[in-house]
Amino acid sequence: MIIGGASPRGPNPGPVILPLLEAGPEGVLARLELSGPVSPEQREKVLANNYDALIANVRSLRFSVEDDLPNMTMPFLLYVGESDRIFPHTEVKEAASRLPNATFVSLPGLDHIQAIARSDLMLPHVKKFLAQVS
């Protein structure tokens, strides 16, 4: 399992992320550009998103799997931006410590959206993780 910017507690990120999604692709692109230029590929992905579906997802019910963590024995790679206000990196790191077979990666200076969008920073970690579990 590879999971980015998520918590087992399942808090509702609505107050933080809904305004961004409601601003549409232009709002998301502006947020991404705060950490540097957006590649044509990233721009294309942002523009292709179904914002109604993303908003519905954020508004949906969240549930907790926190009590189940010690029983989840499959390999996990958990990553999060250190500036993520939705899922603080300390919370995700603590969750990784409760998983029997987890790798944790913290991305300095990145928030929730930036950490997910920066595949160039995550790809080396993902390749290493997959090589270890293959």
**Alpha helix stretches (DSSP H) within the chain:** 14-22, 24-32, 40-48, 51-59, 89-98, 112-117, 119-133
Neighbours of 23 (CB within 10 A): 14
pLDDT at site 61: 60
Query: Which CATH number belongs to the domain containing residue 40 in this structure?
Result: 3.40.50.1820
Place of tokens 């926190």: 66
pLDDT per residue as tens digits for the range 31-77: 888 878 889 998 999 999 999 999 888 887 667 788 889 999 999 99
pLDDT at site 91: 87
CB of 7 within 8 A of CB of 87? yes
How confident is residue 88, by pLDDT bands cut at 50, 70 and 90? confident
**What is the domain range of residue 93?**
2-133
- Beta-bridge mates of residue 105: 79
CA atoms of 26 and 102, how far apart (whole Å): 35
Q: What is the model's pTM?
A: 0.67
End-to-end alpha carbon distance in the chain: 12
How confident is residue 83, by pLDDT bands cut at 50, 70 and 90? very high
More confident residue, 90 or 129: 129
Counted domains in the chain:
1
